[in-house]
Amino acid sequence: MARKKKDNERPKLTPEQANAYIAGAGQVVEEPITLTLERNYMPYAMSVIVSRAFPEIDGFKPSHRKLLYTMYKMGLLTGGLTKSANIVGQTMRLNPHGDAAIYETMVRLARGNETLLHPYIQSKGNFGKAYSRDMAYAASRYTEAKLDPICSELFRDIDKDTVDFVPNYDNTMQEPTLFPATFPTILVNANVGIGVSMASSVCSFNLAEVCETTIALMKDPEHNALNTLKGPDFPGGASLLYDEAELDAIYRTGKGSVKLRAKYQFDQDTRTIEIVEIPATTTIEAIKEKIVSLVKLGKIKEISDIRDESDLNGLKIGIDIKKGVDPDKLMQKLYRLTPLQDSYSCNFNILVHGYPKVMGVYDIIREWVDFRMDCVKRRISFDLARKKEKLHLLKALGKILLDIDKAIKIIRETEEEADVIPNLMIGFSIDEVQAEYIAEIKLRHLNREYIVKRLEETKQLEAEIAELTETLGSDRKIKSIIISELKDVIKKYGQPRKTQFFYKNDIEEAEPEDDAPDYQVTLFLSASGYFKKITPLSLRMASEQKFKEGDCLAREIEATNKTELLFFSDKAQVYKTRASAFEDTKASSLGDFIPAKLGFDEGENVLDMVVTTDYSGYLLFVFENGKVAKVPLNAYETKQNRKKLNNAYSAKSPLVAVFHISTNEEIMLRSSNGRAVIFDSALLLPKSTRDTQGVQVMSLKTKGSKLEKAFILSPEQADQLSKYRSKTIPVAGSFAKDIPDPDQMSML
């Protein structure tokens, strides 16, 4: 692993460059902004990303690593608790950013704060709570801390050259660039960071599931992680919506979001909803403030009181509800309107070899396995070198085994101490290191028993060296070591999931209530798709409608502000909304352009508008081919309150008109070949599907003719035009070139 460049290292300048800088000091030189950004801003941006904001493959940012390593060197892995202020002061030898920043980092890693799924620091005293914005932590002089036992997995074999070390900022001590963690800590504990122009948000997963998934992927690269890694696991619990497609996308790309909702229980005696777990993205205060705001606005009327009942036993929000209120239905409403249900956005942006990279779970585990294999190889190489050194020394004992007296004689007869080593080297044909070892043996050890035991140790060392050498050359054996360590971690530190799942089929979503006020309005729709909602008072003041040039009124309907609107388009789609979604306007304005307001597809236009309050009655669809379909309006009512429905009517023939009828009506049809027919809508049977073609009503026998117009007739009009009435369908109709359209008749 390449040595990291220190932040305070600067490129050395030649004398000519230094003189050029001095000569240009104080001068203002114009240069392209792109060059300035590249030379001055980009180094700063990369420094923030690499040295502060983002975690590396070992799961830690530099600030975390400096703090934990300082505590390790202080002996706090096995020792007792010490004052947090002492730890903060010692950490400043590695992290010169101030005691406040160091202590904040320490608080987040502590068990008492409940931020991490597996805290790295045991704490005593008030460390605040991650789920409370206002519950402040105590000053460092009041709290105590030490390393949690799980940290032994972070520092295992760190002194065996498993990772690189670099000098600290003032070159007085060494610090590790990474921790040789024995499990993928990057996925076990959440990590959030904001750099320059990019951010990172890694959610936490269950330790046992992460280790099992890592083992499975090491054995089978094609393993489906969803089988072992069920989903994120948050320290605060809550419930997670299990969406397999979304989780698979996160596992493969590192981007996506998961939906969390609070857990609650209901006390029937006090009629209190007790919130006991909340999403990791919110706080108690944010939830209370939102609920209080909704109560004041009158959008929630079922709640009589809300309070924070959190204590030493954990989080609890008490919500008193009024008599007769269904707690489950109220919670569905609160999930929809408050942070009791929230989304956690995943963005697995991690530093790999000094560069930020967005990776999915599969890629992260592969990178971690490569990193861990390098650590294990370096540990084996370290152990192998030490054993070879010891074997080299013990072989010197073997050479003096048969003639210990000769060694004593050489030492005794050597007049000067400096000549002892050279004489032993000559006398036994050994090197200087071996001669030093022989010379340092105590007199009490110059017996055959001691030397024989050391020779037996030589045989054991040779076997161990052979085994280590074989292991070092086999990736399969190194992986088996990593798998064995992962199994040990599961056994020691595995714990049940805190975040459980809920499913779409398990939850019946409450239909959103329209809290808008209800009052009389008149709705106007123009031929080109402009919509206006005008109150009676405004209409009385100015009743002349303004339209764009070439536009005209297509539909005018008396309704209320809570009326539901269905806008049918020329692409056989219907868009649903409510009158309350539009602002009251005046006759002098153009109004809202419906395709833009409701997000129509490109090139899609409005054909007609239907209004309803209860989805009763029928829709009549009249087509150019002479067919008419009768569809119940409730076919367009959806429990999920969808805003857009495809296949709203048949697209096989162009639509001429849409009529909303509640009773049987007399309908007049006119064709392009001058014929007309009047029929009773009772002759049509309702169809169960929305996109039905219906039945043939007007027979178009003349080639090229088509049905052009359709009208609903009043009883008076129907009587006046009775000669065109037909009691059966289909019918060709009678010639009617001389009669006006019903909307042009004087009686209208």
Amino acid at 354: G
Tell me the range of 296-300, 362-366, 587-591 where mean pLDDT is highest: 362-366
Q: Does residue 369 contact residue 258 with C-beta atoms inside 8 Å?
A: no
- Is residue 293 pLDDT above 60, yes or no? yes
Whether residue 362 lies in the annotated active site: no
Amino acid at 131: Y
Task: Report, as an integer, the average pLDDT of 527-538.
Answer: 90
Residue 2: pLDDT band with limits 50, 70, 90: very low
Asked if residue 122 is part of any domain, the answer here is: yes
- Which structure tokens are listed for 215? 């083992």
- Which structure tokens are listed for 395? 């072989």
| Set 41, 44, 142, 355: catalytic member | 142
Q: Are residue 716 and residue 645 in the same domain, yes or no? A: yes
**Could you give the CA distance from residue 641 to residue 512 in angstroms, rounded to a whole number?**
8
Q: Are residue 373 and residue 466 in the same domain, yes or no? A: yes
> Residue 555 burial (CB < 10 Å; 0-12/13-18/19+)?
middle
**Could you give the CA distance from residue 349 to residue 202 in angstroms, rounded to a whole number?**
8
Q: Which of 165, 180, 195 finishes a domain?
A: 180
Q: Which of 147, 165, 180 finishes a domain?
A: 180
pLDDT of the residue at 718:
84
The model's pLDDT over 67-101, given as tens digits with 9 standing for 90+, comes to 999 999 999 999 899 999 999 999 999 988 789 99
Q: Are residue 398 and residue 458 in the same domain, yes or no? A: yes
The model's pLDDT over 563-597, given as tens digits with 9 standing for 90+, comes to 999 999 999 999 999 898 898 898 888 899 999 88
Q: Are residue 571 and residue 651 in the same domain, yes or no? A: yes
Q: Which of 299, 322, 339 finishes a domain?
A: 339
The percent of residues above 90 in pLDDT, for the chain, comes to: 51
CA 381 to mean position of chain CA atoms: 40
Provide the whole-model pTM.
Answer: 0.68
> What is the pLDDT of the chain when averaged over all its residues?
88
* CATH value at residue 697: 2.120.10.90
- List residues bridging with 666 in a β-sheet: 680, 713
* CATH value at residue 430: 1.10.268.10
Asked if residue 115 is part of any domain, the answer here is: yes
Task: Report, as an integer, the average pLDDT of 96-120.
Answer: 93
Q: Are residue 274 and residue 374 in the same domain, yes or no? A: no
- Is residue 334 pLDDT above 60, yes or no? yes
Asked if residue 249 is part of any domain, the answer here is: no
Asked if residue 221 is part of any domain, the answer here is: no
Q: Does residue 569 contact residue 604 with C-beta atoms inside 8 Å?
A: yes
Q: Are residue 476 and residue 525 in the same domain, yes or no? A: no
- List residues bridging with 355 in a β-sheet: 352
Residue 746: pLDDT band with limits 50, 70, 90: very low
Give the number of other Cβ atoms within 10 Å of residue 87's Cβ. Answer: 24
* Phi and psi torsions of 680, nearest 5°: -90, 135
pLDDT of the residue at 748:
33
Q: Does residue 123 contact residue 144 with C-beta atoms inside 8 Å?
A: yes
Render 505-539 in DSSP notation, one character per residue. GG--PPPPP--S---EEEEEEETTSEEEEE-HHHH
The model's pLDDT over 220-278, given as tens digits with 9 standing for 90+, comes to 999 999 999 999 999 999 999 999 999 999 999 999 999 999 999 999 989 999 999 99
- List residues bridging with 711 in a β-sheet: 668
Asked if residue 79 is part of any domain, the answer here is: yes
* CATH value at residue 160: 3.90.199.10
The model's pLDDT over 435-453, given as tens digits with 9 standing for 90+, comes to 888 888 777 776 777 777 8
Please work out, in degrees rounded to the nearest 5, the angle formed at the alpha carbon of residue 714 by the alpha carbons of 710 and 720: 90
Give the number of other Cβ atoms within 10 Å of residue 251's Cβ. Answer: 23
Of 45-49, 166-170, 451-455, the one with minimum mean pLDDT is 451-455
Query: Which residues form the domain of 597?
Result: 520-744
Q: Are residue 434 and residue 537 in the same domain, yes or no? A: no
Asked if residue 710 is part of any domain, the answer here is: yes
The total number of structural domains in the chain stands at 4
Asked if residue 36 is part of any domain, the answer here is: no
Asked if residue 195 is part of any domain, the answer here is: no
pLDDT of the residue at 5:
44
Task: Report, as an integer, the average pLDDT of 607-630.
Answer: 91
The model's pLDDT over 195-212, given as tens digits with 9 standing for 90+, comes to 887 889 999 999 999 999
Q: Are residue 526 and residue 481 in the same domain, yes or no? A: no
Q: Are residue 285 and residue 175 in the same domain, yes or no? A: no
Q: Are residue 472 and residue 580 in the same domain, yes or no? A: no
Give the number of other Cβ atoms within 10 Å of residue 30's Cβ. Answer: 4
Q: Are residue 449 and residue 567 in the same domain, yes or no? A: no
Q: Are residue 373 and residue 325 in the same domain, yes or no? A: no
